[in-house]
Amino acid sequence: MNNLDKDYWPSIFNLRLIGYILLILSFIDVVNIFIPFQFTNPVWEFQMIGALVEHAPLPLIGSIFVFFGEMNYRREVEIYLLNFISWAALLAGILFLLLLPLGIKNTSRIDNQNWVQIANHSSQQITQMQQIKKVLSKATTNQDINQIIKSLNPQENTPELKNPQDVKSQLLSQIGQLEKNTNNQTQLVKNNTHKQLIINSIKWNLGALICSFAFIWIWRVTKWAR
C-alpha cells in the first residue's frame, strides 16, 4: 500500500526518471574516462582519479533521485534494479577509497618525473650555451671570431664585424646572463609545477575520500532496497 498521496506521483516519477538518466550518463562518462586504458602510466592514473572525482556528483545526485520515495510507487522489477544500484554504490565507495594510496603514490612519481624532465631540458640549453662560450673563448683572431659568428647564423648573410673583439666580449657577457636566467627560470618552473601538482593531489585525493564516504552512506541508508 502506498503511503504517499497520489497527487505526488508525477513529481516522484519525474525525479526518478531524471535519476536514471543521470546514472546512465555517469556510466558513459566512466567508460570514456577509462578508454584508452593506460594503467602503470602515473600521469594517466592521476588524471583518471581527478576525472572520476570531478564526475562523481552526477551519479550521487542520480542515486538520490532514484531512491527518492523509498518503496512507494515501485514495481517489482524496479526493486531488483534498486538492489543492484545500492550494491553498486558500495562498490564505488570502496573503489574511491582504494584510489587514495594510488593517488598519493602517483603524486610522488609525477613530481620526480617533472623534476627530471625540467632538469634535462635546462641542462640541454646550458650545455649548448657552454659549448658556444667555449668556442668563443678559444677564438683569438678577428678572422676566427667572424667565422664563429657566421656559423651561429648560417642562414643569414652576416657581414664582417668591424670590432670582433668587442662583439666577442658582449656575446660572452650575454651568454653568461642567459645561463643565469635559465637557471632562475628552471627553478621557477620547478616550483610552480610542484605547487600545482600538490594542489591537484590534495583536491583529488580529498575528493576521493569524500566520494567514498558519500557512496558508502548511500549504500547504508538504502538497506530497504536490498
Q: What number is the average pLDDT over the span 19-35?
A: 95
Q: What number is the average pLDDT over the span 129-141?
A: 80
Q: What number is the average pLDDT over the span 26-31?
A: 95
Give the pLDDT confidence score for residue 73 in this predicted structure: 78
> Is the predicted pLDDT of residue 133 greater than 80, yes or no?
yes
Give the pLDDT confidence score for residue 1 in this predicted structure: 43
Task: Output 118 or 163, whichever has higher pLDDT.
Answer: 118
Q: Categorize the per-residue pLDDT at 161 as very low, low, confident or very high, splitting at 50, 70 and 90.
A: low
Question: Which percentage of the chain shows pLDDT scores above 70?
Answer: 89
Q: In which residue are the cell numbers 527518492 written?
A: 68
Quick: pLDDT tens for 177-215: 888 899 899 999 999 999 999 999 999 999 999 999 999
Q: What number is the average pLDDT over the span 6-18?
A: 82
- Where do the H-state alpha helices sit in the chain? 9-34, 42-55, 57-67, 76-138, 142-152, 164-221
Give the pLDDT confidence score for residue 169 in this predicted structure: 82
> Is the predicted pLDDT of residue 10 greater than 90, yes or no?
no
**Rounded to an integer, what is the distance from CA 204 to the centroid of its chain?**
9
> Is the predicted pLDDT of residue 2 greater than 60, yes or no?
no
Rounded to the nearest integer, the mean pLDDT of the chain is: 88
Q: Categorize the per-residue pLDDT at 136 as very low, low, confident or very high, splitting at 50, 70 and 90.
A: confident
CA distance 23 to 85: 9
